[in-house]
Structures are given as C-alpha cells and as structure tokens.
Amino acid sequence: MRALLWKIGIIGFGNVGQGLAHILNRKKEILKRRYDFEFIVSFIADPVRGSLYNEEGLDLDAILKEMAQKGSLKNRPEFTDKGTLELIELAKADIVAEATITNLETGEPGLSHIRKALSIGSHVVTSNKGPIALAVDELEQIAKNNNVYLRYEAVVLSGTPCINMVMECMSGCDVKSVAGIVNGTTNFILSKMEEGYDYPEALVEAQKLGYAEADPTSDVEGWDSAVKAAIMANLFFGAKIKITDVSRQGITKITREDVLKAKNEGKRIKLIAEVKRQGNDVIASVSPHLIPMTHPLGNVMGPTNALTIATDHLGEVTIIGPGAGRIETGQALLSDMLAIHRFKNA
C-alpha cells in the first residue's frame, strides 16, 4: 500500500543534516511531482544545536534561516529537551536520517540511534561510517526482523554513487577488485604538493579551506580510507574484515620531491584504498601508489574521489565525483530515501 506521506526524522544537524534539510526544503514540490514523494520532517535531534519536534511537520525554511543567523535552534517554539533515543521512540518516523559524527572505535552514538530506529520499525538512511563498519550484519538483521530498510550510500564516496551502483546496478557481476581515491583531503594535499607546496604547507592550505580538520590524523594517516576499505570488503566481497585488519600507510612521509619525481616519470602518487581477492582470502589495504597518468585515477586532482571496480562482465568501471560536502552527502541520503519509497510502493 502506498505511503501517502512520509514522516522523516533527522538525527545530527551539522553539515550533513543541514545539507539534507536544504535539499528537502528546496525540492519539495519537485520530489512530489517527479517521484510522487511527499513528506514532512517531524523531528530534528541534535543535543548541541537544539532538538525540535512537531508531529504535524517542521518549517524547514524558517529553521535553516535561524541556523544561518544564530547557529542554534534552542529558541524555536518546537524546541524539546527530550533525548535523541526518546525522540526516536516518540516520533516513530517512517524514515530516520542518521548523520551524526563518525566514531570508529564504538560507532556511538550513531549505532544506538540506528538500532533504536530499526527496532521500532523506522527505515534508516545514514552517512555514518562507524556503525556500518562495526556492525552492519547486526543492523541488517534488525532491519530484516522489522521489515524495514537500512541504506548507507553516503559512507564511502559521499554523494557519488558507489555502494548502490555495485550492489544493485552491477548485480550478477563478480567483483574482482576495487581500488580508488576515497579520501578527498589527502588527494587535495598531494595535488598541492605537485604545484610545489611542501607537505606541511599543503596541509595548512587544506585546513584553511575546510578540507582537513584541525587534527587531520584520520585522513593523513589513512584511517578514513581504511574504514571505507573495510566496508567495501564486507559489502562487495562478503568478507568479515575489521578496520584493524586493513594494512594501512598514510601520506605523512611523502615529500614534495617524491611527488615531483613521479610527475616527471608520467605518474602521480595517490593514496589508494584497495580490496582484492587473493586465493581464498580477501585482502584490504591503504597505501600510496604510483599511478600512471594514463589511468583514470591518475588524473583525479583536488578533493575529488574516484573508484575503479574490476568485474567479470564489465571489465573495469571507474566512477569519479565529489567525496564530501553538505549538499553532496545530503544527496546520497535523499537517493536512499527515494529508493525506499520505490521499494515500498512497488
């Protein structure tokens, strides 16, 4: 039976949550006309910026303007001091978008949010890598037990299609390997080094432009790429790989001279996340590679991501696109919502 109106909840109202809200607010009529997708956002849960609840639907336009002006929602009339788990239970949204910050050690608080939402019968879309890397099998089982969907397109290449492309559009193919640039920060730094920057100078530029955090360890030491490699190994190859199983080397020891020498040889240094079959084993690694400029990955510059998937039926398929950004990641969440809409109304 077709859902006449989807009730949506957004957990985490930082860049990604606001990016999704901007898209939903701007494209509400288009989504209705093009996809027959009608919705209200009934709650926003963010203990820092302020949580809101209105069973009849929140005014996204007013909320986004208030966030832009004040950086807080705590003076909104719909403000509630209820905790996130309590709001999930109270609102019983049809779809919950979980967009809190990734925790690679415990997956929390996102893991508890997703467990709770699925267990009460809400579909979940998420951009949070931690819960998917640490507990995807458990979460998929909870979803199955409650006849709901869990989707997570955003966790590898942000808004650039990757997971759904391999799992759905390439159904029937055997994936032999995947290899790519899955961290835009390190690719930006290496691109600046090719322009003549030293590593410290390139890192400062990345931080200035918002591509790198104040503590860039997760990016430059390869942890962010490693968690994405683990996710791809488990989803595409059926492996049971943990983040700590991924062989990992970052870019901190690469010098400007290394980068320029590679360029003179017609190659570029790229931080590559790779997953491949080796006999009966699945091997996942992250390390700097010398990539010929004639290869599609060799010409991916700046904060851009790219992934080459080698298959039996299609040979090599390379996808290139943005790997970060509030609107880009919000688009991945929206695409997962629309997929759920299609599946439930088929």
Active site residues: 228
DSSP state, residue 100 = P
Our CA angle for 138, 160, 242, nearest 5°, is 35
Our CA angle for 55, 19, 13, nearest 5°, is 55
Q: In what order do the strands lie in the sheet with 315-322?
A: 247-248, 281-292, 267-278, 175-181, 304-311, 315-322
Residue recorded with tokens 């930082």: 14
d(CA 99, CA 23): 15
Q: What is the phi/psi pair of residue 229, to 5°?
A: -65, -40
Residue recorded with tokens 């904060």: 303
Closest-CA residue to 325 (of 346, 299, 304, 298)? 304
d(CA 162, CA 145): 26
Q: Are 285 and 247 in contact (CB under 8 A)?
A: yes
Q: Are 255 and 197 in contact (CB under 8 A)?
A: no
DSSP state, residue 199 = H
**150-151 and 51-53 as β-strands: parallel, antiparallel, unpaired?**
unpaired
Closest-CA residue to 236 (of 228, 225, 248, 244)? 228
